[in-house]
Chain A
Amino acid sequence: MAIDHPARYLGNELNTVIKSEAENLIRFAMCFPDVYEIGMSHLGIQILYELFNRRADTWCERVYAPWPDLGEIMKERGIPLFTLESQRPVRDADFLGITLQYEMCYTNVLLVLELSQIPLFSRDRTDEDPIVIGGGPCTYNPEPLAAFFDCFYIGEGEVSYDAFLELYKTCRAAGEDRRTFLRKAAGIPGIYVPSLYEAEYAKDGRLLSFQKKYPEVPDRVERVVVTELNEVPYPTKPIVPFLQVTQDRVVLEVMRGCIRGCRFYQAGMVYRPTRERNVECLKRLSDEMLESSGHEEISLSSLSTSDYTGLEPLLNHMLDYREKGINISLPSLRIDAFSLDTMSKVQDVKKSSLTFAPEAGSQRMRDVINKNLTEEVIINGASLAFQGGWNKVKLYFMLGLPGEEEEDIRAIPALAEKIAEAYYEIPKESRNGKCQITISTSFFVPKPFTPFQWAHMLMAEEYVNRAHMVIAALKTQLNQKSIRYIWHEPKETVLEGLLARGGRPLSELILEAYRRGAVFDAWTEWFDPLKWEAAIEETGTDVESLCMRTRDEDELFPWDFLDIGVTKEFLLREWKKSREGKTTPNCREQCSGCGASKFKGGVCFEAKARI
């Protein structure tokens, strides 16, 4: 029996929490349904781990999806999936929490349930089984997975989990069954219990109606939001893995939300309003985390760190760590004199590369997506960096954005060409050999709760055509030898789009794909489009209607029952503006009335305070 990286399954990492098996302890198995190295890098789980384990009556343990080498053996021999801390079966826990970070992990959810020997469908579970609860960004359209979950948590864990666990304790003490508990839990803000709602779908996958089954159940489920980030618990004793995981460093979350309203970007909408931690709080947290973990690197986390108002004092504090031999890993910052100066202090300028994310090549397209970044700013930033000694630049773009024309596509290599020209304008003696520009394109996927939730996708072949247009245009350019182009296979893109905006009927598709062996779909080496194509055929899933059609403005979406703060009216306004090529200012420039101010916190009130 040869298993790769056995340390994935051992537990016993520093700062893990072990509790004695006192009676009545609530056991919460927290799962990231991917391999250990990916799951352990996720900050959200570390936050929840801290939050739950602070409670004397609760023991939160971790679970990851076993890599197929072990997964197969467990299936063959009937070994139940276990938690890392106690090495006990997941099915013995009171709760199995699964974080849903990307659509391509959906078959792994079924893998985790099956290996845990928990019935796949919520309706088949009994009081002997854990309550299966989902969280994370994919819960902003939980419907494709609704049949597999007993409930979902919509929003930030710090807000409602205490009430949720207290209710569980009360129900358990009173000997009430899971259905009674779930019925009561539906009254807690942020808790969605799918079985208490009825949804009717047309044959082409369109939602016809969505209704609650019982009068006491809320009509809409409200996302819960932390208003004061300085006051919530943070994992100051992070678990330190033995294996080298993706994020093998202290991660400091400086803020939540983003002030820039990129119209393709779900995180930019669903995490509104922007809320910051203050610099003093962050200094204290980072000091504590470095000390308790022994990590030798620290990084900042947020959606747009350059917009953090305390960036300069915070980075200066972090630079002091250099004396203790601690590396600073900088997130992609907006390129300006200050960020270049900071970067030159912490990186080897000759080796490191700079990242720009213009997302679209032409100004017209950048206005369509509301990426408030002009060509001038990009070129100036690059010139400044080149003068500072850098010669490697990475550029990220999307292909297949709504309304994209051939000239927008050709503008992508053209922008890279202009950057190369800026480099060769520097006198030969003061530059550092050739420049290396890397263009990377991904394909646009419309997501729920974005202004582009109405947009259509393109067929896989069309995505390939567009990538070839980039290549063809690149070949005509003078500096083509300084520019490299990377693009990703599009088959996964269409599937991601399907799972992102589909409804409850898709549970059949996911199950069918899983039955055909689809698992670890986010991994190129495991992703098998043929299994999915066969499953689409078998279940009669209408990809055309769900993905390739511009949705009607008054269409009912499977996720409309969620109230994330940002209103559908705002999103529709943004969708219309995008088609006129009009931009919207960021939250600090001017409030655009998105609806997130109802949470009474963050940037919405910061702006008012200034007036």
Chain B
Amino acid sequence: MKLRLAFEKTGEMKYIGHLDLRRFFQKVFRRSGVDMRYSEGYSPHMLLSFAMPLSVGMESVGEILDLEVNSLPDEEITALLNRNSVQGIRIREAVKLPDNAKNAMSLVSAADYRIRRKSGQREPWQDLIRTFFWEAEELLVTKKTKKSETVLNMKDLVYSFCEDRGELALRISSGSEKNVKPELFLTAFFERAGISCFPAEWRILRESLLTGNREKGFVSLLSLGEPL
């Protein structure tokens, strides 16, 4: 049986790296006595996968984890897991997926972020966003990897960008195909808008991971399952 969990990684737990988080969850499942499915082979491992790694230092309230179990525990699973977790890593919701469901990692195509200036200093965001993003013809950024450099037009990859209650809300292309880190876009945008800023002045929170596309719309990965 395939399950999908949405969880939070907040506070100091933002410093836990992706591989460490994976090992942490393996131990949470063991402690909880969840009847996990294992891979075949000489050293079997638990069948679990994350939708998308979160950068160390970034908090999130909408991380996604897929897992396979042989049977459901007697106790309600989110409560059971939270009892065996630590402060800062909290399971929000669990859903059951159809047996033929693709894993979250291959589905994720966008992510929502909320960006807040730690100092609380305000800018005329609505005007700046309109002038320097929506009305601009293009906003090019150079994405550097170890192997190559690619120039990306943010106008194609940012799906939504606005001010909301004093914070910036951003929906941006993510996942295995065209992944853009929010920092990369924000740096380019702030530069264009003439706002001096250091990454350390900002708190970026990942809100949710989505699947879909611009034409048909985006839905939360969690909505692909049914309540348990």
Contacts and interface: CB of A to CB of B under 8 A. Distances in A.
A10 B86 CA distance: 12
B86 A295 contact: no
B15 A294 contact: no
Interface residues of B, number: 27
A12 B87 contact: yes
Contacts of B19: 244
B13 to A, nearest CB: 7
A516 to B, nearest CB: 33
Given A296-B26, A325-B44, A12 B31 contact: no
Nearest to A326: B30
A294 B80 CA distance: 14
Interface in B56-75: 56
Interface residues of A, number: 20
Contact of A294 (B17, B28, B56, B87): B28
Nearest to B56: A6
Interface in B13-64: 13, 15-17, 19-21, 23-24, 26-31, 38, 42-44, 46, 56
Given A7-B16, A294-B29, A325-B38, A244 B23 contact: yes
B20 A7 contact: yes
A292 B31 contact: yes
B42 A348 contact: yes
A291 interface: yes
A294 B17 CA distance: 19
Contacts of A10: 12-13, 15-16
Contacts of A355: none
A240 B20 CA distance: 11
Main DSSP-derived SS at the A contact region: loop
A293 interface: yes
Interface string A1-17: 00000110010111000
Given A294-B84, A325-B38, A348-B42, A7 B17 contact: yes
Contacts of B87: 12
Contacts of A327: 43
Nearest to A290: B30
A294 B30 contact: yes
B15 A291 contact: no
A243 interface: yes
A240 B15 contact: no
Which residue, B15, B21, B43, has most C-beta atoms of chain A within 10 A? B15
Contacts of A325: 38, 44, 46
Given A6-B56, A294-B28, A12 B20 contact: no
B88 interface: yes
Given A244-B20, A294-B84, A14 B38 contact: no
A526 interface: no
A296 B20 contact: no
A13 B16 CA distance: 11
B27 A14 contact: yes
B86 A12 contact: yes
Contacts of B15: 6-7, 10
Contacts of A201: none
Contacts of A293: 27, 31
B31 A242 contact: no
Interface in B65-124: 84-88
Interface string A281-295: 000000000111111
Contacts of A13: 86
A84 to B, nearest CB: 11
Contacts of A14: 27, 31, 84-86
B31 A294 contact: yes
A243 B12 contact: no
Given A6-B56, A244-B20, A294-B84, A12 B27 contact: no
B207 to A, nearest CB: 23
B55 to A, nearest CB: 13
A12 B42 contact: no
Contacts of B86: 12-14
Given A7-B20, A243-B20, A348-B42, A296 B30 contact: yes
A152 B130 CA distance: 69
Interface string B184-215: 00000000000000000000000000000000
A235 to B, nearest CB: 16
A295 B21 CA distance: 14
Nearest to A327: B43
A242 B29 contact: no
Contacts of B27: 14, 240, 293-296
Contacts of A243: 20
Nearest to A12: B86
21 contacts: A6-B56, A7-B15, A7-B17, A7-B20, A10-B15, A12-B86, A12-B88, A14-B27, A14-B84, A14-B86, A242-B16, A242-B23, A291-B31, A292-B31, A293-B31, A294-B26, A294-B27, A294-B31, A296-B27, A325-B46, A327-B43
Given A10-B15, A293-B27, A295-B30, 8 more contacts: A7-B16, A12-B12, A244-B20, A291-B31, A293-B31, A294-B26, A294-B29, A325-B46
Q: List 6 A-B pairs, minimum CB-CB distance, nearest first.
A: A294-B27, A294-B30, A294-B31, A6-B15, A242-B20, A10-B12
